[in-house]
Structure 1
Amino acid sequence: MILKDIQNIYHKELDAIYGKNEVDSFFYWLIEYYFQFNRVTLVLEPQLALSKTEEQCLFEALARLKQNEPIQYILGETEFYGLTFNVNKHTLIPRPETEALVSWVISHSLSLDKEKPLKILDIGTGTGCIAISIAKNLPNASVYALDVSSEALHVAKENAKRHKVNVTFIQDDILNVSALNANNLNAFDIIVSNPPYVRNLEKQEIKANVLDYEPHLALFVEDDNPLEFYEAIVHFAQKKLNKKGALFFEINEYLGEEMKHLFISNNFNEVVLKQDIFNKNRMISGKK
């Protein structure tokens, strides 16, 4: 079948679900991944035909997209902070807005005058995208990454190996810390986290491709205790951060003021609430 005809089938089957532009993006992403073609190929070779085996890849992907499965899971990878990360159903898909959090941490780190390497901990690492991106850009830092999920940690370790960075991975539950304490890991200069923060009442705002496929363990919190993970991490940071150490979070856009109060009431200083490009409260930091 001609490649252009398959693209037309994609639009016929998927435009009502995703919209024309996003369907084009999916199609270009897929043909680049499977065949190393790009959109220019379709212009220069409008009669380019695929073999039956090649067609099958695209039609299998089409069937999965019709079920709202994220294209990142279909391909098994995604881009984050200029790096390619393996992803699967056990990990959240790294988001562009989290790149801003990584940039903030790196910028802060570079502003410090440290005679010894920085010690940085990422809590709830998932794919390892935060920890690995930091380690890639701060090669002299000692980077640690924690997650409660052994399946997620397996993916994170693969990603660290893929990008040739040294990150120490730890399986532990920040709500009931044991491994970190047992190994006497403390005196961190920076702690960063993008913990679960979507309240159940906000599920109606979540697209089906997220709600039906991404791990709820890493997404949702109870309506009556939406800051559960933040409170646990703040209390942990009080004990484990060095003096003048910094704590960084990605946060629920609706709970910025509550997060400021959490920091201030726990004696953190220089609290900064940052907005994203859409003017939503998305990140916060404070110093011990």
Structure 2
Amino acid sequence: MPVFHEIITSWAEKLTDYEKQEAESIVSWLFEHHLGWRKSDLLNDADEGSFPPKILEDLERLKMGEPIQYIIGKGPFYGRDFFVSPDTLIPRNETEELVHLIIKENPKASLKLLDIGTGTGCIPVSLALEMEDPEVYAVDISEEALAIARKNGDALGAEVVFSKCDILSELPEVAELDILVSNPPYIPEQEKSEMQKNVLDFEPGLALFVSNEDPLLFYRTIAEKGKQLLKSGGKIYFEINEKYGNAVSLLMQESGYSEIRVLKDLNGKDRIVVARC
């Protein structure tokens, strides 16, 4: 019988939307999810004919470009597995960098935090679990996303208060925040043609896209409302589109913030803006 990596390679070749290494990693993940097989395992007593129908069905979904995280219902983030659904974005490495920065820069206990546009809740749940006795709140416009976020908070034992809020028309019911964080929609509609099929066809546009006419809409709105929500000296952390580092920095300056920094991610792209109220 073929060893594991030979079946991995064979199946990965069918995932034409991915680079070879990523495709092999995705197929390995699928096998581990269904059968508990890891890369080091040898398939001495199995062949493709003995696979359960569900794994073959899921392979077809992968071939159509559906993300593995939606197929298995989970995705990793900051050392934990988070439930995901087509109503939420899939947690990404860049957002892990944002979370890590907040934890590193804010060691003080009992800080009060708000995450705007929480999606899966990966940001506030991670902060609630990693920081020292914080008071954590999170909002989203989507009831479906909030259901997933609450599920993650409960499953991981994180104390986070989740609530519905349309940040463009409402003010979250919290005040005197030490930290405001947001990874809002930041991809202009015109950039759809540059995006991968597995993102464009499956992830929620509500959480991805902003109009071409005003790509900084969410940053401007959150910055303005942050003036009401943050205590004096409080910090605001944004994840940003790599093309808008200077623009968001200027916006924050015009909004009256100080100590503004534009930070690059591990790929050298502008990804985080930090400022003080």
Q: TM above 0.5, one fold?
A: yes
Aligned residue in 1 for 2:147: 154
- Give distance in 1, aligned partners of 2:103 and 2:128: 9
Deviations 1:185-234 (CA, angstroms, capped at 9, x unpaired): 21100000000000111112210000000000000001110011111100
Tell me the residue number matched to 2:54.
57
Measure the CA separation in 2 of the matches of 1:273 and 1:17: 32
Does the 8 A contact of 1:91 with 1:215 survive in 2? yes
User: Which of 42, 62, 87 is the matching residue for 1:90?
Assistant: 87
**Pick from 123, 129, 137: which aligns with 2:122?**
129
- The number of aligned residues is 276
Residue identity in the other structure for 1:83: R
2:245 matched to which residue of 1? Answer: 256
- Select the residue among 136, 140, 150 that pairs with 1:143: 136
Per the TM alignment, residue 76 of structure 1 is displaced from its structure 2 partner at its CA by 0.3
Question: Using the alignment, how far apart are the partners of 2:179 and 2:133 within structure 1?
Answer: 14
SS at match of 1:126: coil
1:11 offset after TM fit, Å? 3.5
Q: Helix, strand or coil: the match of 1:270? A: strand
Show structure 2 runs of 5+ residues with no match. none
Q: Per-residue deviation at 1:51?
A: 6.9
Asked if structure 1 preserves the Cα contact closer than 8 Å seen for 2:257 and 2:275, the reply is: yes
User: Which residue of structure 2 aligns with residue 199 of structure 1?
Assistant: 188
Correspondence for 2:14? 13
Give ranges in structure 1 of 5+ residues lacking alignment: none
Amino acid at match of 2:202: Y
Alignment-mate amino acid for residue 31 of structure 1: F
Which residue in the other structure is 1:48 paired with?
46
Contact 1:76–1:88 (Cα < 8 Å) also in 2:
yes
Give 1:9 deviation, angstroms: 4.5
Compute the TM-score of the two structures, normalised by the length of structure 2.
Answer: 0.94
- Give the secondary structure class of the aligned counterpart of 2:52: helix
Distance in 2, Cα, partners of 1:200 & 1:213 = 16
Identify the structure with the greater helix proportion: 1
Distance between the aligned counterparts of 1:67 and 1:50, measured in 2? 20
CA distance change for structure 1 residues 12 and 261 in 2, over 3 Å: closer, same or farther? closer
Please point out which of 75, 86, 100 is paired with 2:97: 100
SS of 1:204 mapped into structure 2:
helix
